[in-house]
């Protein structure tokens, strides 16, 4: 009887360990997107802050203004191969630029001249959508301009 109980405990321990290890691998898996997919013009759909808006990073608010709607201006982000982002407002001729650089583990580092760098995590990147997450847990939704 003791051998049966020990065998059941051993099987449960092995099963629990396998489950734990498989869950960790699933969470740490790289998305499998190609960095070249970001090249092109994107428009800001929504910006969802997770913390108090007063606690938001100054740089994040400068790059991605609060939720655009029909009454708010339209922001476009044109990613170039030269690691430059051209940020335009309402298809204006006047635009702003920032530099971006891919870092390890699906992160993009944004930097305007004279400002500190802002690190964004790329959570989704496909042919139609780009989702970024800031260090302060805000989520930025962009869609490709066709």
Say yes or no: 7 and 59 in one domain: no
Helix (H, G, I), strand (E, B) or coil at 61: helix
Q: Look over the chain and give the mean of its residue pLDDT values, rounded to a whole number.
A: 77
* CA separation for the pair 121, 128 (Å, rounded): 18
Find the CATH number of the domain harbouring 109. 2.40.128.370
pLDDT digits (tens, 9 = 90+) for 114-125: 788 888 889 888
Q: Could you tell me which of 113, 112, 118, 117 has the C-alpha nearest to residue 133? A: 118
Say yes or no: 110 and 60 in one domain: yes
Say yes or no: 102 and 41 in one domain: yes
pLDDT at 23: 73
Say yes or no: 45 and 26 in one domain: no
Say yes or no: 85 and 124 in one domain: yes
pLDDT digits (tens, 9 = 90+) for 125-144: 888 899 988 888 888 899 99
Do 75 and 85 contact (CB within 8 A), yes or no?
Answer: no
Q: Could you tell me which of 58, 66, 48, 73 has the C-alpha nearest to residue 112? A: 58
Predicted TM-score (pTM) of the model is: 0.62
Say yes or no: 59 and 20 in one domain: no
Say yes or no: 20 and 86 in one domain: no
3-state DSSP helix/strand/coil percent for the chain, to nearest 5? 25, 35, 35
Say yes or no: 92 and 49 in one domain: yes
Does the pLDDT at position 45 exceed 50? yes
Say yes or no: 4 and 74 in one domain: no
pLDDT at 64: 53
Domain interval for residue 22:
1-30
Residues contacting 8, CB < 8 A, separation 6+: none
Say yes or no: 17 and 50 in one domain: no
Say yes or no: 53 and 123 in one domain: yes
pLDDT tier at 12 (50, 70, 90 boundaries)?
Answer: confident
Say yes or no: 75 and 12 in one domain: no
Question: Which DSSP symbol is given to 146?
Answer: -
The count of domains in the chain is: 2
pLDDT at 69: 52
């Amino acid at each position: 009887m003791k051998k049966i109980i020990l065998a059941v405990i051993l099987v449960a321990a092995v099963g629990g360990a396998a489950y734990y290890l498989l869950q960790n691998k699933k969470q740490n898996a790289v998305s499998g997107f190609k960095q070249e997919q970001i090249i092109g013009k994107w428009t800001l759909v929504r910006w969802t802050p997770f913390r108090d808006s007063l606690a938001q990073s100054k740089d994040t608010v400068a790059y991605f203004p609060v939720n655009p709607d029909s009454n708010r201006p339209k922001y476009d982000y044109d990613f170039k191969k030269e690691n430059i982002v051209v940020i335009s407002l309402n298809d204006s001729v006047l635009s702003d630029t920032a530099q971006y650089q891919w870092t390890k583990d699906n992160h993009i580092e944004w930097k305007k001249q004279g400002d500190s760098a802002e690190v964004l995590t790329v959570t989704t990147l496909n042919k139609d959508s780009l989702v970024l997450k800031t260090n302060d847990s805000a989520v930025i939704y962009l869609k490709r301009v066709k």
